[in-house]
Amino acid sequence: MNLFNKLIAAALPIIPKGIVRKVSARYIAGDTLTDAVRVVRTLNAEGAMATVDVLGEYITSLSDAETNTKYSCEVLKTIEREKIDSNLSIKLTSLGLDLDAGHCEKNVRTILETARGHGNIFVRFDMENSPYTSRTLELHDKLKGEFNIGVVLQAYMRRSEDDIRTLIANGSRNIRLCKGIYNESETIAFKGRDEIRANYLRCLELALSNGLYVGIATHDPFLIAGAKEIITKLKLPRERYEFQMLLGVTEPMRRSLIKEGFRLRVYVPFGADWYGYSIRRLKENPAMAGHITKAIFTGR
Ligand SMILES: Cc1cc2nc3c(=O)[nH]c(=O)nc-3n(C[C@H](O)[C@H](O)[C@H](O)COP(=O)(O)OP(=O)(O)OC[C@H]3O[C@@H](n4cnc5c(N)ncnc54)[C@H](O)[C@@H]3O)c2cc1C
Same domain, 9 and 90: no
Same domain, 180 and 262: yes
Same domain, 110 and 165: yes
Same domain, 300 and 184: no
Same domain, 21 and 122: no
The closest-lying atom of ligand 1 relative to the alpha carbon of residue 218 is: 25
Same domain, 215 and 249: yes
Give the closest residue to 244 by CA, choosing from 235, 231, 227, 236: 227
pLDDT in tens, 176-187: 999 998 889 999
pLDDT in tens, 107-143: 999 999 999 999 999 999 999 999 999 999 999 999 9
Same domain, 284 and 139: no
Domain extent for 198: 32-270
Is 31 considered catalytic here? no
Once rounded to an integer, what is the mean pLDDT over residues 236-257? 96
Same domain, 175 and 69: yes
The answer to pTM > 0.85 is: yes
- Cα 273 to Cα 56: distance, rounded to the nearest angstrom: 6
Is 176 considered catalytic here? yes
Q: For residue 169, what pLDDT is reported?
A: 97
Given 53, 98, 126, 163, the catalytic residue: 126
Same domain, 20 and 144: no
Q: Is the CB of 178 under 6 A from ligand 1?
A: yes
Same domain, 128 and 165: yes
Same domain, 124 and 109: yes
Q: How many domains does the chain have?
A: 2
pLDDT in tens, 43-72: 999 999 999 999 875 688 999 999 999 999
Same domain, 76 and 49: yes
Q: Report the CATH number at residue 192.
A: 3.20.20.220
155 Cα: distance to centroid of ligand 1 (angstroms)? 12
The closest-lying atom of ligand 1 relative to the alpha carbon of residue 245 is: 53
283 Cα: distance to centroid of ligand 1 (angstroms)? 11
